[in-house]
Amino acid sequence: MSHTRCDRTAALPADVPPRCSGTLVRMSNRSDAAPLLAPRAIRREVVVVLAVSLGASAIWSIVDIIGTLTEPGGLADSVQSMNSSRAEPERPWYDLAQQLVSLALAMAPVALALHLLSLDRGNPFRAIGLDARRPAFDLLGGAALAACIGIPGLGLYFTARALGLNATISAANLNDVWWAVPILVLAAFKNAIVEEVVGVGYLITRLRQLAWRPAAIVATHALLRGTYHLYQGFGGFIGNAVMGAVFALCFMKWKRTGPLVIAHTLLDIAAFVGYLLVAPHVGWL
């Protein structure tokens, strides 16, 4: 493939390619001479990646809430079940096999996003800060984020549910099996990897290459994250939109998804495993 050679204008950020007509441009002032996608190609790529991942989830979530709102009882009487069994109780190994296959296949959009980033950003894990360079920072930052978001988020959920603005979330609905907790932990990690790698690391990197303003990037990611959680209700939308704004700002400041993955994993483990252990003994969940 031929490459169009272009001069960079001083007004553009360092990671933004010049606007050229070709699909790929080769930067004359980059020491590694890595090819960068042209804006038109980046826009097409982002649409495709979102269409097979979080964007598709957002569309289905809109459809789900329309269905819920038009049902008798609406959101107030709705129950959204998560992490459910996939087979009859007498077939636990078949259920486990389906759970593991589902978790593995959910990594496909992540692999796609990382592959596409590697084409022009080099090592994709290093590009989005999902490497082992700063383990202490990632762990401490992730734990702090989880605490700051988790407690207010729980309060928002109960408030929205009391006002009839949120469905009841049944976070763990597995059969009585020995592998329930490990699967829920893996599900939490899967959610964190998909949402933070695709929705934060990949998407924000590409939007910065398109020279989007920081405020527009934060608003776009917050809207996306809130929308694909809209099936939970308006409380879920607001809470996740705020979380999305915070995570986007953190990534733009830290240039690392590591703390975000850890924070998200901790939040979902608390929600999934906590529900599994507590729900059978209390009625307020």
The β-bridge partners of 173 are 84
Which residue is it, tokens 């989880």? 146
CA distance 46 to 112: 11
- Residue for token pair 């589902």: 102
What residue type is assigned to position 78 of the chain? S
pLDDT of the chain, 285 residues: tens digit per residue: 444 444 444 444 445 544 444 444 444 344 333 447 899 999 999 999 999 999 999 999 999 999 999 999 999 899 999 999 999 999 999 999 999 999 999 999 999 999 999 999 999 999 999 999 999 999 999 999 999 999 999 999 999 999 999 999 999 999 999 999 999 999 999 999 999 999 999 999 999 999 999 999 999 999 999 999 999 999 999 999 999 999 999 999 999 999 999 999 999 999 999 999 998 777 666
Distance of CA 222 to the CA centre of its chain: 11
Whole-number percent of the chain with pLDDT over 70: 87
Size of the chain, expressed as the number of residues it contains: 285
107 neighbors 193 (Cβ within 8 angstroms): yes
> Do β-strands 24-27 and 4-6 pair in parallel, antiparallel, or remain unpaired?
parallel
pLDDT tens per residue across span 55-74 = 999 999 999 999 999 999 99
Q: Where are the domains of the chain?
A: 62-281
Helix-then-strand count for the chain, H and E: 11, 5
**Two tokens, residue 205:** 């990197």
Phi/psi at 106 (nearest 5 deg)? Answer: -65, -15
Strands 79-81 and 35-37: unpaired
Q: For residue 8, what is the DSSP state?
A: P
